[in-house]
A = this chain, B = another copy of it.
Amino acid sequence: MSVILNKGQLSEVLPLLERVVPSRSANPLYTHLGLSLSPKGLVLFGSNGEVDLEVRLEAEVQDEGRFLVPAQPFFQLVRSLPGEVVELSLGRELELASGAFRTRLALAPEEGYPELLFPEPGSPSEAYPLLAPLGAEDLLKAFTHVRYAASNEEYRAIFRGVQLEFSEARLRAVASDGYRLALYDLERPQPFAKKAVVPARSVDEIVRVLKGLDPGDVELALGPATLGLVVPFAGGVLRMAVKLMEGEFPDYERVIPKEFPLRATLEVEPFREALKRVSVLADRQNHRVDLLFQEGKVLLSAEGDYGKGQEELPVALEGSPLAVAYNARYLLEALSPLSGQAVLYLSGAASPSLVRPLEGEGYQAVVVPLRV
């Protein structure tokens, strides 16, 4: 049986599969790309055991069949094919023809390849009883605003994920490493109440898929231990299934201060640049930068082995003058999703500060000052 495809169709989605399918694995079947042909079209699928991904492409196919091809040469070849059209013929081998180029790739037997379970768009299933439709742009924002705050440490493994909180009032994404915290609220009522922690690396794959395909609306699907995602795009439908982490975040709301003796409104870009410059002089361990807020200005200063540096910037202050010190990296990361104007809410030199955009709610970052 055979299928004819435009190279463009394949090259849009193969990079997404290439990121998931491992080039080496304890189970060599995982290093294969699945091709499933049916009158409905061509389905490409792959998995690394954590993230499953499949893409259905529209194509004219006569027969039905399921095949596993060695993924690495397939990806490499399709990237560099001479013709605009690719013909795939599947039987005992995969024959791939394009322009003057012909190849035959050995197929792997299907036995032992895990069953991949994806959500059905619009219909709850046993594997995915809960469905939540969502704008792709919204989901992307929620993930990219908080991703940086997830932990890289083995210690307290739950913090290596991003927690999604579905509730009647909203969808919230939150990440923390125990020292700082970022959350993004999407003020849209959700059809169910549930918390689910997605491993940060799987969040990265979801972000890449959403950026790579530029879809309109997507569907999140929640199963007992799996987050599913349906992503329609111009040339077909992509579906993902990612393993969830066990457990949930400890109660973090209580560390977010509610009262702030000082509020500083600042331009993000020049503040970020000044912070970067001054932090070059900071000690290598704490990256400590001191901030002195008074009289419509903030004086940033740092001192380390190389010497000292300082810079002054105008800020709009409401409240009493304050001296406070931060790990410059944490403060820079808290500002990283922002542009335009931001507000720094200071609750004191020894208690958490809050970073928010001046306009547009949704994002909040908690940064704990360094002890002075």
Q: Which residues of A line the B interface, CB within 8 A?
A: 70, 73, 76-77, 80-82, 93-94, 99-106, 270, 273-274, 276-278, 280-281, 305-313
Contact = CB atoms under 8 A, between A and B. Distances in A.
7 contacts: A73-B307, A82-B273, A82-B277, A100-B312, A101-B274, A103-B307, A104-B308
Closest 4 A/B residue pairs (Cβ)? A103-B309, A105-B307, A101-B311, A73-B306
A93 B274 contact: no
A265 to B, nearest CB: 18
Given A76-B280, A277-B77, A101 B306 contact: no
Contacts of A277: 77, 80-82, 101
A310 B80 contact: no
Nearest to A81: B277
A274 to B, nearest CB: 7
A309 to B, nearest CB: 4
A309 B100 contact: no
B106 A307 contact: yes
Contacts of A77: 277, 280, 309
Q: Which of A81, A94, A105, A277 has the most CB of B within 10 A?
A: A277
Oligomer: number of copies: 2
Q: Which of A101, A276, A313 has the most CB of B within 10 A?
A: A101
A94 B309 CA distance: 11
B70 A306 contact: yes
Contacts of A313: 100
Contact of A309 (B104, B273, B305, B308): B104
B101 A309 contact: yes
A307 B80 contact: no
A305 B73 CA distance: 10
Contacts of A278: 101
A215 B270 CA distance: 36
B308 A80 contact: no
A309 B278 CA distance: 57
Nearest to A80: B277
Given A100-B313, A311-B100, A306 B105 contact: yes
B280 A311 contact: no
Contact of A103 (B73, B81, B273, B308): B308
B102 A311 contact: yes
A73 B280 contact: yes
A291 to B, nearest CB: 14
Nearest to A99: B311
Given A101-B310, A103-B310, A105-B281, 16 more contacts: A70-B306, A70-B307, A73-B307, A76-B280, A77-B277, A81-B277, A82-B277, A82-B311, A100-B274, A101-B311, A103-B280, A103-B281, A104-B309, A105-B307, A106-B305, A106-B306
Nearest to A94: B307
A80 B273 contact: yes
A213 to B, nearest CB: 26
Contacts of A280: 73, 76-77, 80, 103
